[in-house]
């Protein structure tokens, strides 16, 4: 199993670079960041420094979207980093939550995400693509490679990930939901004539190592609120008791009362008081190292290829180090 580290690009950027370097030393193979231009610093600028100061780490956004930047700019940025550092980027993409809503825009449609996946990948790998009716190609790209992984929860998004993406990003670590959603993605891939095993499965969730479960829950409760934004969209689209969306995903947001993006993805987020302990325990990895290993083994048995650690809490360095000394070796030893 591969391991990734997920960070927000809060200033100073040097701290983000330092944590990514620490992660690589501890056996992490991927470095991910949020991508929301108003809330945090520009990630692609920081990627150049992460790549410069690491040897093998693959970096990318978790996740970008088709609306913040024009597609040729996104593709050119990835291709430039790959040309400089040797195809060490991955494009995580989705409809856009904080990046779009904070700027007063709606998340992108799935049709737009679908088109963007192909266009960005083709351009970044040196092929011609149609952008708003104009055929474009980046003539300087040589031997470019850009895997595009899609984040999804709802049935249509899961189907699209299986039909078009190179990887699937599931931002929660609940075993029941992971099994259900991985099955949906692989079934869609098979129905589209693709090899379902060719799609990389990445589960991303907060991880907090320690015996004080109450403290760990409080440090990670923000994640249930972040997931709740997407779940609220699904409930609005399909209804509270739809057969298309499992109640194991939707039932907990009944007490949700709005959301303040100024605290997005941060421990102590007051907009996430509605998230119960049960959801924190299901969606995250908490407890001593042995509990993390047990859950990660179960995720691996469900076909998960990578676990990406959301590391937004008060034990960033300690989490990276314990994963490096105990947890990653136990999974890959």
Question: Which tokens sit at 207?
Answer: 């991880």
- CA pair distance 326, 290, nearest whole angstrom: 9
Q: Which residue bears the tokens 């693709």?
A: 194
From residue 214, alpha-carbon distances to 73, 128, 226, 310, 321 in Å are: 44, 53, 20, 18, 22
CB–CB of 169/151 below 8 Å?
A: yes
pLDDT tens track, the chain, 333 positions: 999 999 999 999 999 999 999 999 999 999 999 999 999 999 999 999 999 999 999 999 999 999 999 999 999 999 999 999 999 999 999 998 888 888 888 888 999 999 999 999 999 999 999 999 999 999 999 999 999 999 999 999 999 999 999 999 999 999 999 999 999 999 999 999 999 999 999 999 999 999 999 999 999 999 998 898 778 888 888 887 787 788 888 888 877 877 777 778 888 888 888 899 999 999 999 999 999 999 999 999 999 999 999 999 999 999 999 999 999 999 998
pLDDT value, residue 86: 97
What pLDDT, on a 0 to 100 scale, did the predictor assign at position 263?
78
Asked whether the whole model's pTM tops 0.75, one would answer yes
For 251, other C-beta atoms within 10 Å of its C-beta total: 14
Classify 210 in phi/psi space as left (phi over 0), alpha (psi -120 to 50) or beta.
left
Give backbone dihedrals phi and psi of 310, rounded to 5 degrees, phi first. -70, 120
**Contact of 77 with 44, CB cutoff 8 Å:** yes
Please provide residue 59's backbone torsions phi and psi, each rounded to the nearest 5 degrees. Answer: -120, 155
What's the pLDDT at 257?
Answer: 72
Distances (CA, A) of 277 to 214, 222, 257: 9, 11, 18
Q: What is the pLDDT of residue 225?
A: 87
């Amino acid at each position: 199993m591969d391991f990734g580290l997920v960070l927000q690009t809060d200033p100073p950027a040097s701290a983000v670079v330092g944590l990514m370097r620490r992660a690589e030393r501890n056996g992490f193979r991927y470095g991910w960041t949020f991508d929301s231009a108003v809330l945090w610093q520009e990630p692609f600028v920081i990627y150049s420094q992460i790549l410069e100061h690491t040897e093998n780490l693959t970096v990318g956004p978790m996740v970008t979207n088709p609306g913040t930047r024009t597609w040729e700019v996104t593709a050119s940025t990835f291709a430039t980093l790959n040309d400089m550092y040797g195809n060490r980027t991955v494009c995580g993409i989705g409809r856009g939550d904080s990046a779009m809503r904070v700027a007063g825009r709606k998340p992108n449609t799935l049709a737009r995400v679908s088109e963007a996946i192909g266009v960005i990948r083709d351009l970044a790998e040196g092929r011609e693509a149609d952008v708003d009716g104009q055929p474009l190609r980046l003539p300087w790209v040589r031997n470019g490679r850009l895997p595009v992984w899609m984040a999804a929860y709802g049935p249509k998004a899961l189907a699209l990930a299986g039909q078009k993406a190179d990887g699937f990003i599931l931002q929660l670590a609940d075993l029941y939901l992971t099994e259900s959603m991985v099955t949906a993605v692989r079934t869609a891939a098979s129905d589209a004539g693709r090899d379902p095993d060719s799609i990389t499965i990445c589960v991303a969730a907060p991880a907090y190592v320690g015996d004080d479960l109450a403290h760990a829950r409080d440090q990670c409760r923000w994640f249930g609120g972040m997931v709740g934004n997407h779940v609220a969209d699904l409930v609005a689209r399909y209804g509270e008791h739809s057969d298309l969306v499992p109640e194991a995903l939707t039932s907990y947001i009944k007490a949700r009362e709005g959301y303040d993006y100024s605290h997005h993805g941060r421990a102590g987020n007051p907009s996430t008081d509605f998230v119960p302990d049960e959801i924190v325990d299901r969606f995250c990895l908490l407890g001593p190292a042995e509990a993390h290993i047990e859950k990660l083994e179960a995720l691996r048995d469900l076909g998960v290829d990578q676990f990406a650690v959301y590391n937004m809490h008060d034990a960033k360095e300690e989490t990276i180090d314990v994963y490096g000394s105990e947890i990653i070796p136990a999974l890959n030893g």
